[in-house]
Amino acid sequence: MSDAPRRSTRLNKNQEEEKAKAKAVDQDVEMEESPAGSSTDAPKEKVLGAKELEALVIADIKQHFVLFTKSAKTHEARFAIRALRSVSSLRKRLTAQALAKSIVGSYGKDDEARKRLLVYLGSEALTSITPEDEAVVSKYDTPEVDVYLHLLVMIYLLDKGQLEKGIELSNITIKVVQELNRRSLDQLAAKVYFYYARFYELTGRLAEIRPTLLNAQRTATLRRDDDTQSTLINLLLRNYFHYNLYDQADKLVSKITFPENATNNQLARYMYYLGRIKAIQLEYTESHQCLLQAVRKAPQNNVTAGFQQEANKLLIIVQLLMGEIPERSLFRQPVLRKALIPYFQITQAVRVGDLNKFQETLATHAATFNADKNYTLILRLRHNVIKTGIRMISLSYSRISLRDVCLKLHLDSEEDAEYIVAKSIRDGVIDATIDHEKGFMRSKENVDIYSTNEPQHAFHQRIGFCLKLHNDSVKAMRFPLKTVNQDAAEVEAARDQERTLVQEIAEADEDMDEDHDEL
């Protein structure tokens, strides 16, 4: 990603955070009874001292332990998912001290993992441990808690930029995860792999982990572990893309099936990668569909700006390559406006069919396009510019000499113009004939479109789409089993739970977006 959009996303994020804080203050008044709720933490930063804050973090981590244990015992993934959702809010508040205290509080004194994790946290954390922390040890016998603590330490190291340490720890954690064959670990494993790849990417050693990822992908597929599978597929694709190995990426895609139950966030990424592969292979229609899905599935807020910008850039080029002009309103969206300026200029050049302007824009923004890895795709647009130019000429003149065509389109020679016009006629861009002896091109009369089968095709497509939409929505409907006679308290509790869930979903989305920004 280039510098400019990155900066703008940062800015957006700051604004977003401020807004969130302001909102949280309002909520604080209403929700005073639930001090541990994650939404109330933001304003508390001002009110509470460091000590209380730390206590809160530790309490949150403890609560997550309970959730993971519950999830493992009841074989219900949703508890684990719930805990993982709030990791994003936790991430901002993580401190070495809080982590150290949680670790001390949950491992036995001679546990190997305990020693290991504490070493990674650094000496500062060690000194903060007081004997009273060590006094209360509530041991958890589920490995989920162990992996979760590893994950938290990994995130902490990532945020502190201690990449080498992170790589070491992630290698160890991956080993732990691979040795344990537990379904209740799936969601955690996906996260662990994500950060594992992130560490290697930041140190520029992505190529090294490809075999590990491929192996893990195979295992995850065999175990029908949807979360890990979808994460790993995206990581692998990203890995290949990093080295421009589209050939291998395409082969991978042709040999896998993306899990249907994958989360929207993973699906959006997958669709984006797929769209890029298809665009490079000149399958623009498919690419367009994939990218459209990617844009629509991605959460629409300011924090996903990075992903939205990238996906939309590609989408614009693919649309142009298909001979369509993207809508003007797309370029006006506040999130996208700044990042899309070079693409907007290219679009203008293509729309008018001005070859000179196109070359100029290409030259001025070459660095941006290269950074976006879109340069070669944009190069392909050159002949679209010429096509549009010819179409404009054919529409405005019923007869024009080839010499004039040559001058208008800034082509090399009249012979070239003749070949180009002949090719456009064959490709169906214009409906015309060339008179070679007299050297002019004559446009044919416009055919009445309603005398052809075209309208019928168009209608069929639309009807088909509507029917599919109806069928899909019928399929997607769910009917709750128990709706009778819930008493008031139960309703109240359910509502509360719902409210926290909604909040957590919103936060998880933000989390996804942050990760995306980093990508």
Residues that bind another protein (CB under 8 A): 207, 243-247, 250, 280-283, 370, 373, 375-376, 379-380, 382-383, 386, 411-413, 415-416, 418-426, 432-437, 452-453, 456, 460, 463, 467, 470-471
The minimum distance between CB 432 and another protein, in angstroms, equals: 8
CA distance 24 to 508: 16
The minimum distance between CB 416 and another protein, in angstroms, equals: 5
CA distance 127 to 124: 6
Question: Would you say 109 or 426 has its CB closer to another protein?
Answer: 426
Which residues are CB-contacts of 183 (< 8 A; sequence separation ≥ 6)? 75, 223, 225
CA distance 251 to 256: 9
Q: How many CA atoms lie within 13 A of 345 on its CB side?
A: 17
Question: Would you say 14 or 452 has its CB closer to another protein?
Answer: 452
The minimum distance between CB 338 and another protein, in angstroms, equals: 23
Question: Would you say 72 or 432 has its CB closer to another protein?
Answer: 432
Question: Would you say 130 or 244 has its CB closer to another protein?
Answer: 244
Q: State the residue for tokens 């979760």.
A: 148
- Classified as helix, coil or strand, 437 is coil
Question: What per-residue string of b and e applies to 419-436 under the rule 16 or more CB within 10 Å gives b?
Answer: ebbeebbeeebbebeeee
Question: Would you say 111 or 283 has its CB closer to another protein?
Answer: 283
Question: Would you say 63 or 359 has its CB closer to another protein?
Answer: 359
The minimum distance between CB 443 and another protein, in angstroms, equals: 12
The minimum distance between CB 136 and another protein, in angstroms, equals: 50
Question: Would you say 300 or 370 has its CB closer to another protein?
Answer: 370
Strand locations in 174-292, DSSP E? none
Is 283 in contact with 290 (CB distance < 8 Å)? no
The minimum distance between CB 382 and another protein, in angstroms, equals: 6
Q: Which amino acid belongs to residue 123?
A: S
Question: Would you say 91 or 423 has its CB closer to another protein?
Answer: 423
What token pair was written down for 385? Answer: 């510019």
Angle between helices 284-297 and 305-321 (to 10 degrees): 160
The minimum distance between CB 219 and another protein, in angstroms, equals: 22
Q: What's the distance, Cα to Cα, between the start and end of the chain in Å?
A: 9
Strand ranges across the sheet with 399-401:
399-401, 440-443, 432-435
Neighbours of 113 (CB within 10 A): 19
The minimum distance between CB 351 and another protein, in angstroms, equals: 18
